[in-house]
Amino acid sequence: MRSYPAIALTWTAAGDADRQDLLLAELDGLRITAVEDQDDGLRVFFQTADDRDAALRHLCTISDLAATAAEVPDEDWAARSQALIGPITVGRITITPPWSLTPELLAQSDITIVIQPSMGFGTGHHQSTRLCLRWLQTLALGDATVLDAGTGSGVLAIAAAKLGAARAVGIDVDPDAIESARENVGLNDVGDRVALSEHGLSDAASALGPTFDVILANLTGGLLCRDAGAFLRLASPNARLIVSGFERHERAQVSGAFADAGWLTLGDVTEDSWVALLLSPAPR
């Protein structure tokens, strides 16, 4: 059975939210796949043990932070998922794990998406995913082409297809994420309209060809700021870009980075401390 390389992080002195955010920003470039809140800190998951060990060497230099390597069995995640994860509805869309899919749920739902939870990738239940789904349902997707950057479980690409997009492409640098997304594409019978590709933003423009009408990016504030210009190369002239994965205190920094890169902010939605922006290429 697969295990996931992780680091358990606890502050040995009182730590505040700003220090935690700065810590996660430092780890942005170290191939994190997921962050899980713990009662006494965080547990951060990585693509490989080498990635985890490289991060551990860096973290050991930070005072009053205890960092411990761990291997977390997938069965632990599966057991917690079945206990904690159930259906959730956002507008017309209900996201459900397979064990909660019933005829009654199908009858009550306009659009149902089945997601098999996997530790490293999104179940669709996080606030930032819900915010992306809210924006996505405001757009006219008929005949649209959609790119889901950092697709994870594939939930947003699948949602775009079920909302009427002609074609959705999910990209991710993690092969395990692509495998997870491929399973979910099959569970939702959208393989004729959803393609998956192991690419990052840096090579997506040359690898994927034509530009996209809608782009989704549920990443982190640090990654969004870094790659704001790369999204523009993937966007059609009248494209809409939905970005989330950052909190209110990061909003000015993220929107500023996109403005500098040539994007116009059309609006925002929030849930708890999380934010999602809707943007378009600025007129030239």
Q: What average pLDDT does the structure give for the chain?
A: 86
What sign results for the dihedral spanned by CA atoms 124, 90, 17, 23? Answer: positive
Strands 41-46 and 3-11, bridge-based pairing:
antiparallel
- Is 281's pLDDT higher than 80? yes
If one compares 67 and 41, the residue with the highest pLDDT of the two is: 67
- pLDDT given at position 260: 96
Residue 83 has pLDDT above 60, yes or no: no
For residue 73, the model assigns a pLDDT of: 76
Percent of the chain at pLDDT > 90 equals 47
Which carries the bigger pLDDT value, residue 52 or residue 189? Answer: 189
Question: Which domains can be identified in the chain, with CATH numbers?
Answer: 3-78 (3.30.70.260), 125-281 (3.40.50.150)
Whether residue 228 is predicted with pLDDT greater than 90 in this model: the reply is yes
Highest mean pLDDT, choosing among 46-50, 96-100, 224-228: 224-228
Q: Which of 186, 206, 115, 189 is nearest to 152 (CA)?
A: 115
Confidence check: pLDDT of 283 > 90: no
Residue 21 near residue 249, CB atoms below 8 Å: yes
Cα gap 183→59, rounded to integer Å:
34
pLDDT at res. 25 = 66
- 22 vs 117, more confident: 117
Using an 8 Å Cβ cutoff, are 218 and 246 in contact?
no
Q: For the residues 42-61, what does the mean pLDDT come to? A: 83
* Predicted confidence (pLDDT) at residue 17 exceeds the cutoff of 80: no
Q: What is the pLDDT of residue 48?
A: 80
pLDDT tens for each residue of 128-180 = 999 999 999 999 999 899 999 999 899 999 999 999 999 999 999 888 889 98
* Region for residue 41 given its phi and psi (left: phi exceeds 0; alpha: psi -120 to 50; beta: otherwise): left
Mean pLDDT of 73-102: 77
Least confident segment among 115-129, 144-158, 195-209, 257-271 = 115-129
Contact 252, 236 (CB under 8 A): no
- Tell me if 153 sits within 8 A of 118, measured CB to CB: yes
Higher pLDDT, 142 or 202: 142
For the cut 70, the answer to whether the pLDDT of residue 22 exceeds it is: no
More confident residue, 282 or 77: 282
